[in-house]
């Protein structure tokens, strides 16, 4: 299939809405879920019936490297290599001051909200061809800090913003016009969570680094 999208944490909420948005535009869809298989399979049935595109659901904890490798391998076999990745998965625990947080909560927040983005982006980069894209879903909490409520969550989203900026520069075309990893890859970014999936994708397309990548591409020998 020409266009395939993997949405992590895609079984409900923004992830599910994004899956439907992309399915309506002809993308084959892979919905990643962690525990709620029923919701994911219900969404698969809805997408296939409504939009007539291939759609699968694969359970995996994307904070775990071995499970990420399995997720991408299964998608390769069942749907085809990913062309578009939406890093959407995230956890948010109950309101709590930093003085009350334990290491288990902090580490779970960071591995789910940050490590998963690194691991999934890494595997997507290995597979993407010209026109591929990565969208990282963040939050305004990365700026506000969510004091007295979710400082761990806010910190994780601040890390996502930094990761997004760094990865975009890492993958942007070099002066020679070549691409890191030898791929003609542009990375599209939403630095903040959009109000709708349409806004999420549209804001990604306006990314300055994506525009720079497109400009460099036109000068390739």
153 as an active site residue: the answer is yes
In which band, very low, low, confident or very high, does the pLDDT at 189 lie, cut at 50, 70 and 90? very low
Nearest one of 4, 75, 69, 67 to 34, comparing CA atoms: 67
pLDDT at 191 exceeding the cut of 80: no
Cβ atoms of 32 and 89 closer than 8 Å: yes
104 lies in some domain: yes
C-alpha span between 56 and 45 (Å, rounded): 9
pLDDT attached to residue 11: 93
pLDDT at 182 exceeding the cut of 90: no
Residues 58-106: tens digit of each pLDDT:
999 999 999 999 999 999 999 999 999 999 999 999 999 999 999 999 9
DSSP string spanning 27-61? -EEEEEESS-HHHHHHHHHHHHHHH---EEEEE--
Domain count, the chain: 1
Nearest one of 118, 114, 128, 139 to 191, comparing CA atoms: 139
Dihedral angle computed from the Cα positions of residues 34, 140, 128 and 121, in that order, rounded to the nearest 10 degrees: -50
Cβ atoms of 103 and 64 closer than 8 Å: no
220 lies in some domain: no
Q: Which of 86-90, 97-101, 118-122, 179-183 has the lowest mean pLDDT?
A: 179-183
pLDDT at 183 exceeding the cut of 80: no
pLDDT attached to residue 170: 84
173 lies in some domain: yes
Cβ atoms of 181 and 125 closer than 8 Å: yes
Cβ atoms of 142 and 157 closer than 8 Å: yes
218 lies in some domain: no
CATH number, domain of 10, equals 3.40.50.720
Of 178 and 219, the one with more pLDDT = 219
pLDDT at 39 exceeding the cut of 70: yes
In which band, very low, low, confident or very high, does the pLDDT at 33 lie, cut at 50, 70 and 90? very high
Query: What range does the domain containing 133 cover?
Result: 4-212
Q: Which of 90-104, 123-137, 149-163, 168-182 has the lowest mean pLDDT?
A: 168-182
221 lies in some domain: no
In which band, very low, low, confident or very high, does the pLDDT at 173 lie, cut at 50, 70 and 90? low
Cβ atoms of 45 and 53 closer than 8 Å: no
191 lies in some domain: yes
**By CB neighbour count within 10 A (0-12 exposed, 13-18 middle, 19+ buried), where does 156 fall?**
buried
pLDDT, mean over the chain: 81
In which band, very low, low, confident or very high, does the pLDDT at 26 lie, cut at 50, 70 and 90? very high
In which band, very low, low, confident or very high, does the pLDDT at 186 lie, cut at 50, 70 and 90? very low
pLDDT at 197 exceeding the cut of 80: no
How large is the average pLDDT for residues 20-39?
Answer: 96
The order of strands in the sheet holding 55-59 is 55-59, 28-33, 4-7, 84-87, 133-136
How large is the average pLDDT for residues 23-50?
Answer: 96
Global pTM reads 0.81
Residue among 27, 33, 150, 153 flagged as catalytic: 153
Cβ atoms of 136 and 117 closer than 8 Å: yes
219 lies in some domain: no
């Amino acid at each position: 299939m020409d266009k395939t999208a993997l949405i992590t944490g895609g079984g409900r909420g923004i992830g599910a809405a994004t899956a439907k948005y992309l399915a309506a535009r002809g993308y084959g869809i892979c919905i990643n879920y962690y525990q709620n298989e029923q919701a994911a399979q219900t969404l698969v049935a809805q997408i296939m019936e409504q939009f007539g595109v291939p759609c699968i659901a694969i359970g995996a904890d994307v904070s775990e490297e071995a499970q990420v490798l399995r997720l991408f391998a299964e998608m390769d076999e069942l749907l085809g290599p990913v062309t578009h990745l939406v890093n959407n998965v995230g956890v948010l625990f109950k309101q709590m001051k930093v003085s009350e947080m334990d290491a288990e909560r902090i580490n779970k927040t960071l591995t789910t909200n940050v490590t998963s983005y690194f691991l999934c982006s890494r595997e997507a980069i290995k597979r993407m061809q010209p026109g591929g894209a990565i969208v990282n879903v963040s939050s305004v909490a990365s700026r506000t800090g969510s004091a007295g409520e979710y400082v761990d969550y806010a910190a994780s989203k601040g890390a996502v913003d930094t990761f997004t900026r760094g990865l975009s520069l890492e993958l942007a075309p070099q002066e020679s016009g070549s691409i890191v990893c030898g791929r003609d890859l542009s990375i599209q970014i939403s630095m903040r969570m959009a109000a709708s999936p349409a806004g999420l994708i549209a804001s990604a397309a306006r990314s300055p680094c994506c525009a720079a990548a497109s400009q460099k591409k036109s000068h390739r020998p």
